[in-house]
Structure 1
Amino acid sequence: MLHLRVIAPKRLREQVLDVLRAEPGVGNLLLFPGAALVPEGDEITADVARESVNGVIRKLKELDVQHEGAITLHNLETVLSTTAHRAEEEAEGEGADALVWDELIARTREDATLTMTFVMFMTLACLLAAIGVATDSSVTIVGAMVVGPEFGPLAALSVALVQRRAQLARRAALALLVGLPFAMAVTAFVTMGAATIGWISIEDVTNVHQVDFIYRVGPASFIVALLAGAAGMLSLISSKSGVLVGVFISVTTVPAAGFAVVAAVLGDWSVAGRSALQLLVNLVGIVIAGVAVLLLRPRKSLIPRSAQN
């Protein structure tokens, strides 16, 4: 269940209340006349079943509340209220399957923003991948998978394609097209330095055994990317963030980028090319899976309410 807070000018008070009263998935409706100072207006709060949020938000936006005031949503972990529970029962669908679009868009927009932190995580992940190649360490490669932040922009790109949001798509593309090449450039510079002082050589690339799966591209690579992308998107729309860790260590996106850089710097263009192909396969597969999950997600509960009670 979500807690909804609306700040609206006085002239929209009754219209906002009518929207909330008409929705069966709304409970614990409160009105604080004149409570808002900037912008001036009323504060109206309610507890809303997740499956009813999209409809409520759409109607509030039709009143232009988001421009003249504000609409905020907060997750409620524990609700002890018969009124709230009744609202959840009367709402159509199942809360666990409900996708709140504005919540998902806000989350993916934040994760897809090109920031110094994003670039640093991407760079650290690439460097870890390079070290994993040099030491033939699968544990280090797994560390690079977990550290890499590339799933955020890929998820945002999936959302942008489904919702036709060009601005979100540009934001996600910018994060990937700037963050990943920068990380690869830094990794190339470090690799050249390491090769100059003899810390790494082409034999370290050609004789790997524990991490050679990174550049072994095949149908399984694309299938894994699809499954990981689907699991990642499901974790976002269901707020089960723990699943994302499993997603991160399922695909070799950043490790493939790091391996491609190391191999190219050392002159093994065959491995570099296959690693780059692995990178492309992962990027495309994750986006396709994310779009498919958003388009095919369940709209209604598979089990009728009457059967659940």
Structure 2
Amino acid sequence: MRLVQVLIPQGSRESVLESLDRQGIDYAVFEEVGRGEFEAMVQFPVPPSGVETVIEELTTAGVRDDSYTIVLPTETVVSQRLSALKERFPGLRISREELHARAEDLAPANSTFFSFLILSTVIAATGLLLDSAATIIGAMVVAPLMGPAVSASVGAILADRRMASRGVVLQVTGLAAAIATAALLGVILQQTILIPPGVDIQAIPQVAERTSPNVLSLFLALGSGIAGAISIMRGSGSTLVGVAIAVALVPPAATSGLGLAFGLPAVAVAGAVLVVVNLLAINLSALILFYLSGFTPLDADEREGVRASVASRIAVLGVAIAVLSLVLAGVTYASFQTASFEQQTQAELQRQFDEADIEGVELVSVTVDYRPVDYLLGNQPRVDVLVGIPRDLQAPPDLAQRFDDQLTEGLDRDVVVRVGFVEAQVSDDAATRASTAGLAPAGTPLDRPSVPLNRVSVVLDRPPFLHAPEGRP
């Protein structure tokens, strides 16, 4: 419930009270002696979704725009007379006046906004370099991006151009500052002993996750924008929603900055694309939800113009997201192809080993180095195969090439194969295996392995087909 207090201008008392009576609203009237232009103050409880309608009726009855109207949240209202009002005004949607006030409160002062955003970026960049998801989440709690994201949409819907433009400017300049901050931090850290020389940040999982953005990233941003709009309309969960919005924006911005610092344009571009797509999606989803919720400008004369303005804004954002989504779709397809290739390669090699059925020989591991960017650039996949063989069995010298031929034929893709061999022993009990060097059979003390640790011979060639030498099955 809300408690509404309205100062009634001179000469409007009777019409205002009649309007409240017609709407079936219980009220209390107090004489106003503070200022001569108002003759009384009236206060009454009303459900949140009814505040906007009641205030519009009071404006028609004589309450001017320059009058004081205060809307207060109430903890509890005990009355049997409110059931009719609750039935008349169901739902939890707040009034446009309350929405405007909340949006203003969420957008902090510039100094506060940039201070928290820079600190958040520093923490997020550190978390990326440490591959620490917990640190990155901690950075999101600090990031103040929910306010500008929501206020930009609220300002557009309510025809408050100052609020809308400030929200857009804070988002754009804030994320640009985040990228610059991460780049500067990356340059500084490279001059210290905190980062090993020659480190490849693309190999860090938290960084790699944001350098291959796919269509699923778009759902995160759309969901964050919708959650932001709902939270401000319902007045709940704004802190957690702010974290969700920050997750969609700050880590990719920090990734883009680190890409610039480490001289990796592909990383910088991928992170920047993800930032832009998420930023547009958050604003689009929030704008659409506010529009569908029926919010209109405070000034009735501007409502028609705002509808056209909001429609054009939605169209521009939608087209921009659609264009950039082509990049996400390409990465998504490339990720699917690389994952499928890895799965097919492992299955094909395992099949070859199973069909060969050479006693004592087994496939230890298959590692495929093939990333979405390799697929998009046409680079060949690299397959690393580790084979365990008995000491008395000589490894085929052309195994890598045979694997290469079989994989190229079976998967219709040129590959580069490396095959490594490690000596292994098999106990009399087929259930007990020592497939890698240093593993002892059952009953042998762990500090005295029965299988000697021998050198690993590696064939650097193209992939192979495992076959049984003469005299063996």
Query: Normalization by structure 2: what TM-score?
Result: 0.57
CA root-mean-square deviation? 2.5
Aligned to 2:11: 11
Deviations 1:271-306 (A, max 9, x none): 11101111111111111111222233489xxxxxxx
What is the CA deviation profile of residues 6-46 of structure 1, one whole-angstrom value per residue up to 9, with x for unaligned ones? 1233322223323322223x33x111112444975422111
> Match of 1:305?
none
State the alpha-carbon separation in 2 of the partners of residues 259 and 153 from structure 1: 22
Structure 1's 22 and 214: CA in aligned 2 closer, same or farther, altered over 3 A?
farther
Partner of 2:232: 236
Larger radius of gyration: 2
Unaligned runs of 5+ in 2: 296-473
* Aligned residue identity for 1:15: S
Q: Which amino acid in structure 1 is aligned with residue 45 of structure 2?
A: D
Aligned equivalent of 1:81, options 79, 82, 87:
79
Structure 2 SS opposite 1:44: strand
Q: How does 1:22-41 map to 2 (within 5 A)?
A: 22-24=22-24, 26-27=25-26, 29-37=27-35, 41=39
Aligned: 1:112 with 2:70: no
Structure 2 counterpart of 1:7, one-letter code: L
Answering whether residue 173 of structure 2 is matched by residue 208 of structure 1, we say no
- Larger relative CO (CA 8 A, sep 6+): 1 or 2? 1
2:163 equivalent to 1:168: yes
| Larger displacement relative to structure 2 (252-261 or 176-185) | 176-185
Give the match's secondary structure for 2:17: helix
Is residue 280 of structure 2 the alignment partner of residue 281 of structure 1?
no
Name which of 87, 91, 101 aligns with 1:95. Answer: 91
TM-aligned CA distance change 1:108 to 1:151, over 3 Å: same
Give, as a single letter, the amino acid of the residue that structure 2 aligns with 1:249.
A
- Whether the aligned pair in 2 keeps the contact of 1:125 and 1:145 (CA below 8 Å) is yes
Answer yes or no: is the 8 Å Cα contact 1:3–1:73 preserved in 2.
Answer: yes
Return the offset for 1:258.
Answer: 1.4
Q: Deviation per CA, 1:104-136, whole angstroms, max 9, x where unpaired?
A: 111112223443222211111111111112211
Look up the SS of the partner of 2:70 in the other structure.
strand
Q: CA deviation at 1:64?
A: 5.1
Over residues 175-226 of structure 1, what are the superposed CA-to-partner deviations in whole Å (9 max), with x where a residue is unaligned? 2233333344344333322222242366252221144322321111112211
| Residue of structure 1 equivalent to 2:410 | none
The superposition leaves residues 238-270 of structure 1 with CA deviations (integer Å, 9 ceiling, x where unpaired) of 11226x515623742011111111221121111
How does the TM-score come out when normalised to structure 1? 0.85
Query: Sequence identity, in percent?
Result: 26
Partners of 1:142 and 1:38 in 2: how far apart? 55
How many angstroms apart in 2 are the aligned matches of 1:151 and 1:245?
Answer: 10
Deviation of 1:87 after TM superposition, in Å, equals 2.5
**Of Structure 1 and Structure 2, which has the larger fraction of its residues in helix?**
1
Tell me the secondary structure at the aligned position of residue 42 of structure 1. Answer: strand
Post-superposition shift, 1:70? 0.5
Counterpart of 1:76, as a letter, is: T
Letter in 2 for 1:128: I
Amino acid at match of 2:143: G
AA aligned to 1:271 is V
- Contact preservation (8 Å) 1:202, 1:263: no
CA distance in 1: counterparts of 2:55 and 2:108, whole angstroms: 24
In structure 2, what is the equivalent of residue 66 of structure 1? 65
CA distance in 1, matches of 2:147, 2:288: 17
Please list the CA deviations of residues 36-61 of structure 1 after superposition, one character each: whole Å capped at 9, or x if unmatched: 44975422111112221111222344
Partner of 2:149: 154
Q: Does the CA-based 8 Å contact 1:114-1:174 persist in structure 2?
A: no
Change (3 A) 1:152 1:13: same
Distance in 2 of aligned mates of 1:15 and 1:158: 36
Q: Residues of 2 paired with 1:122 and 1:237: CA distance?
A: 25
Q: 1:113 to 1:247 in 2, by over 3 A?
A: closer
Tell me the alpha carbon deviations over residues 128-147 of structure 1, each in whole angstroms, 9 at most, x when there is no partner.
Answer: 11111221111111122222
